[in-house]
Amino acid sequence: MEEPEFSASGPFGVFGPEELLACYARGVFPMADARDDPRVYLIEPDQRGVVPLERFHIPSRLRRTVRGDPFQVRVDTAFAAVLDACAASAPGREDTWINDPIRRLYIELHARGHAHSLECWRDEVLVGGLYGVTLGGAFFGESMFSRARDASKVALVHLVARLRKGGWSLLDAQFLTEHLSQFGAVETPQAAYLRMLKPALRLTPDTGVLTAPMTGAEAVDYALQPTTQAS
């Protein structure tokens, strides 16, 4: 299901960061058909991809990888670079849904503290990561990229660890993919998703947890903990 589009001819005059947050709060999100297409559509899918935080799964090989700290994991030190890497062409993904209006909206959300990037660095080179939007106790995952083996997967484990430690209750993945299925992601009807979203938005998680240092071993432990642990 798609809602009306808005145009790059001046989205901040009609549709800006506050309007975008309001869309997330009612269960829709933006996408573009292509990088060079100025139109942006608000999407409300019939089926929604969700990563249940309390049932997050880490394959055994990846657990060992994360515990070994193969990357330096940073948060919010290169948001624009992560966004641009997610928008870049890659094998099997020659085009992108991230166009200029969307890029500007997320840069503004980041400046306001509502959008965050999880980054994997090796020898001071950004080799993987992800970004998303936080609103209340819901985190809306937007996109990820990887230029080194397991980099985006390590970033996801670190994200889930921080969400669980800080008291978030919902990780929205938009659509179910084979990549996310290995972590326990499921598909749920939009109506059921909205029932999960409403109480999540009322939560006040500890946002400081997102940027606090965390080792790989700690990330695995928090991501797999049986109950939410606030600190």
Please list the rounded mean pLDDT of every run of 10 residues in the chain (231 residues): 42 74 95 77 93 97 98 98 88 68 93 98 98 98 95 98 98 94 97 98 97 97 76 41
For the chain, the farthest-separated pair of C-alpha atoms sits apart, in whole angstroms, at 49
How crowded is residue 4: how many other Cβ atoms within 10 Å of its Cβ? Answer: 6
**What element of type H or E holds 64?**
helix 60-67
pLDDT of residue 10: 41
Burial class (CB in 10 A: 0-12, 13-18, 19+), 216: buried
Please name which of 142, 124, 34 lies closest in space to residue 83, comparing C-alpha atoms. 142
Residue 86 CA: distances (Å) to CA of 13, 19, 128, 131, 156: 26, 23, 9, 9, 14
Q: What is the pLDDT of residue 6?
A: 44
User: What integer pLDDT is reported at residue 33 of this predicted model?
Assistant: 77
pLDDT at 90: 65
- Helix locations, 114-227, DSSP H: 151-166, 178-181, 190-201, 208-211, 216-223
Distance CA 10, CA 21 (A): 18
CB 144 within 8 A of CB 28: no
Query: Over the range 174-212, which residues count as b (16 or more CB within 10 Å of their CB) and which as e?
Result: bebeeebeebbbebbebeebeebbeebeeeebeeebbee
The whole-number pLDDT of residue 7 equals: 43
| AA letter at 175 | F
Whether 169 and 56 have beta carbons less than 8 Å apart is answered as no
